[in-house]
Amino acid sequence: MEIRASTVLPARREPIELHTGDGLTLVGELALPPERPPVATLICLHPLPTHGGMMDSHLYKKAANRLPALADLAVLRFNTRGTSSERGTSAGVFEGGEGERFDVAAALEYAEFHDLPIPWLLGWSFGTELALKWGHDPLVQGAILLSPPLHRADDADLDAWAEFGRPVTALVPEFDDYLRPEEARARFARVPQAEVVGVDGAKHLWVGEPYVRIVLNEIVLRVNPAAHPLPTEVADS
């Protein structure tokens, strides 16, 4: 069976709640491999909620639908404060990336408390800013940034990540609306451990199954290289 945009592979899925240090409850979902313990964990930080970003933004939904089964990864998705999706609405209101520091901390606390292994931050657009600004936690193994705008996250945040020392990979679309590969390489040059991967033909939202496959493969290559490359077909059950 060919894996398509709508494919949902087996996983152990459960609704979760995160509790922030400033008293909010955030809604989310954890997807685990169907039969084995996970080898690593993706903590997904979604795009800008004021422009439709949420835990179900398509790359994250497809990651949760595929990567537990194909790559033995745990995928933790949640709505940041004030954000709604089919799962529900998280308490609070959008705070422009500042109050969201508590949301990132709550997700990491959940991962630690539930013994989720080797957590990586996976940020997309606004979510990349949250990762760069608030992801300097000893628990974090590294970060993968999809379409980083480097708008709220500035050079001081990049310098802080350089000092943090954990690996960071930026996947930058050729035709991104905010930051394209050449400029991204110049901006990330101040982070010695940063890798910038330009993706030919891609745009900020990564629409289209070919680009989804590129993104998921690049994630798996860094987080569980033993599962790379991902198959494009699975046995029909």
Domain membership flag for residue 5: no
Q: What is the pLDDT of residue 236?
A: 81
Domain membership flag for residue 1: no
* Inter-residue contact 42 to 223 (CB < 8 Å): yes
* Inter-residue contact 203 to 212 (CB < 8 Å): no
Q: For 188-217, what is the mean pLDDT?
A: 98
Q: For 23-32, what is the mean pLDDT?
A: 98
The CATH number linked to 200 is 3.40.50.1820
Q: What is the pLDDT of residues 115-147, one digit of tens each?
A: 999 999 999 999 999 999 999 999 999 999 999
Please give the share of the chain, as a percent, with pLDDT higher than 70. Answer: 100
Domain boundaries, position 173: 12-225
- Spatial separation of the C-alpha atoms in residues 52 and 66, rounded to whole Å: 23
* 0.85 exceeded by pTM: yes
Q: What is the pLDDT of residues 32-87, one digit of tens each?
A: 999 999 999 999 999 999 999 999 999 999 999 999 999 999 999 999 999 999 99
Domain membership flag for residue 88: yes
Q: How many domains does the chain have?
A: 1
